[in-house]
Amino acid sequence: MVNKDFFKALDDLEQERKINKETFIETLETALTSAYKKMYGEAKSAMVKLYPERNMIRIYSYKTVVEEVTDEDKEISLEEARKTKKSYKVGDLVAVEETTKDFGRIAAQTAKQVVMQKLKELERQQAQSELSEKEGELLTTVVRRIDGDNVFVQIPGTTTEGALMKQDQIPGDRFSVGDRVKVYVKKIKDSFHGPQVQVSRSNIGFVRKLFELEIPEIASGEVVIKNIARDAGNRTKVAVYSDKPNVDAVGACVGNRGARINTIVNELNGEKIDLVEYSQDPLEYIARALSPAKVISVETNDSLNMSQVIVPDDKLSLAIGKGGQNVRLAAKLTGWKIDVKPESYVKPKEELKEPEYELTELGDDDSFSTMSDLDDLEEINGDEEE
């Protein structure tokens, strides 16, 4: 069989779709061999070979040379074999080219089915491979469609959509078809219908990537983000650190007249950002984490992994934050349970003990932090946050 157009089509697929032709050839040989056996009998030992360099397809049947034939489909006598080649001996395989004309139509149908199926499979694998490299990255996408509260964006460089679900949006986000929007690729899953891309703007990874994008010292590694605690749409605390004495980690993030941090805040719809300079000293780190509140003293209990923080009476609500937000984020950032008390509080003589904490889930990373007892705030209304 000779089919120049067929092999040219494979060349075009390789160039246009960037799909390896050799992969198609191997799959086609297997499928055509199977189709041939079904047509002429499963017992027959046969193989279909494709020769793209000669634009040819050949069918070979194989028989084993034996002294006495018991299965004519698979065996040939030594006498018959030596009629074609005198060097044959018992145990050799004799290949005979089949010249059947009836197989041409079956071969064409089989080839078409295999090409279409393999094309879909390889395209899906290729898309999955390309997308997997984008996982955990910040992308600038275009809104393609909006379905209720969910927004679907075009992943650049692909034909795939990313799903920005309601819970992955920042409160206050408003989108229209055609808008350019930055998103964080949270997860890529393979499914029967192809790769599914979950993108987010509420994930802490979104904040981390914004900092890497806007602050060269973070991108270069001079300044390191130690941790991030976030209540999307409200407040984020970012702990930064530099081991270079001439680099001000917090100052680098703020930028000249606040230019760098303001760019990030604008992307987050005005979300407050507290920049906290990381310290290996837990007392100092905890005190800084409660920013913008002023801290008088910090005590820790290493065995319970908890701390008690004393703040001025008039700064108690600021330290705790509305609904416990500030202390909850500080606890998440530092990894310490934090109990905030006013300066007028008289500490019992006994050792610092585990208070009753409410565990409050934060964000979408399945981690928890503590919320301080809010009994001291029963008579306080409003939020004093700066």
pLDDT band at 213 (very low <50, low <70, confident <90, very high): very high
Which residues have a Cβ under 8 Å from the Cβ of 251 and sit 6 or more positions away? Answer: none
Is the predicted pLDDT of residue 108 greater than 70, yes or no? no
| CATH number of the CATH domain containing 194 | 2.40.50.140
Cα–Cα distance, 140 to 213 (Å, whole number) = 12
Structural domain contains residue 369: yes
Same domain, 235 and 320: no
Sign of the Cα pseudo-torsion (244, 247, 248, 253, in order): negative
| Judgement on whether residues 183 and 235 belong to the same structural domain of the protein | no
Same domain, 292 and 365: yes
Q: 318 and 372, same structural domain?
A: yes
Per-residue pLDDT tens digits for 346-384: 666 555 555 443 333 334 433 333 333 343 343 333 444
Whether 311 is in a domain gets the answer yes
Whether residue 339 sits in one domain with residue 288: yes
Alpha carbon distance 54, 33 (integer Å): 19
**Structural domain of 256:** 213-278
> CB atoms < 10 A from the CB of 109, how many?
11
First to last CA, the chain: 81
Say if 168 falls within a structural domain: yes
- pLDDT tens for 239-249 read 999 999 999 99
* CATH number for the domain harbouring residue 305: 3.30.300.20
pLDDT tens-place string over residues 80-100: 888 888 888 998 888 877 665
**Do the beta carbons of residue 225 and residue 218 sit within 8 Å?**
yes
**Count of structural domains within the chain:** 4
**Is the residue at 208 inside a domain?**
no
Output the pLDDT for position 121.
74
Asked if residue 207 is part of any domain, the answer here is no
